[in-house]
Amino acid sequence: MAEGQGEDRHSKAHAPELISDPAERAEREAKNALVQFDVAKQAIEQFTTDGDRPFSLRPSLIMSLHRAALDGLSEFAGVYRPAGVEIGKSKHQPPGAHQIPELVEELCDYVNKNWDTQSAVHLAAYVMWRLNWIHPFDDGNGRTSRAVSYVVLCVRTGQSLPGTYTIPEQISENKSPYYKALEVADAAWKDGQVDVSQMEVLMGDMLARQLADVLNKAKNPVPNETNTDRTLH
């Protein structure tokens, strides 16, 4: 289900939608999801294969992933929101638009400064929560936070993690535990504490399922009707 539909916690954007027809919008979102995946994959491959180029999380990567997700759907694809925004079904009120550039830079600084001392799961969980907390875009914040978090997870582990049942896909299928983990981290931050432990547990469990999916496919025979599918995903 696309962000902003059904029972999802979603941004209430103030900008007009470029595509108002639900079916057409859903089709464009699906196409953009594939493009965003390719952008994320390229970033992962770039920083895990080029040993001479150390990884540094930058706002430009975050914005490029957002641009891919919202291209043709929003006038603000790839740029920070120009005004305030509300999050439906959430108690959190995102900061003002004027604070966004500095807050995103601080997010990147946290990841870069703790790159060698914190685990991949912790850094990915932090990005997942903090980018949602900042909510720097009019729409597509969840999609972008999950993509950036996954890039950080893969690059920090030094590989493009195997498996097609990825963490972002698992979250899309069932967002309730993800929302709960965000709310726990939000509550801790109100007391001035960075506590993404629940998000870490959630991501660890989902990573285990992603890798277990690879093992299951390796151990079990492929059904006859799909034997001709030899493509890599």
> pTM (2 decimals)?
0.88
User: For the chain, what are the domain ranges?
Assistant: 11-86+94-216
Distance CA 177, CA 223 (A): 32
Tokens of 55: 């990884």
Q: What is the mean pLDDT of residues 98-118?
A: 98
Provide, rounded to the nearest whole percent, the portion of the chain with pLDDT above 70.
88
Q: In a 10 Å sphere around its CB, with 0-12 CB exposed, 13-18 middle and 19+ buried, how is residue 140 labelled? A: buried
Tokens of 93: 């009120």
pLDDT score recorded for residue 53? 79
Spell out the CATH class of 11-86+94-216: mainly alpha
Identify the three-state secondary structure at position 189.
helix
Q: What is the mean pLDDT of residues 198-204?
A: 98
Each residue's pLDDT tens digit, 152-173: 999 999 999 999 899 999 999 9
Q: Mean pLDDT, the chain, as a whole number?
A: 89
Identify the three-state secondary structure at position 1.
coil
DSSP letter (8 states) at residue 224: G
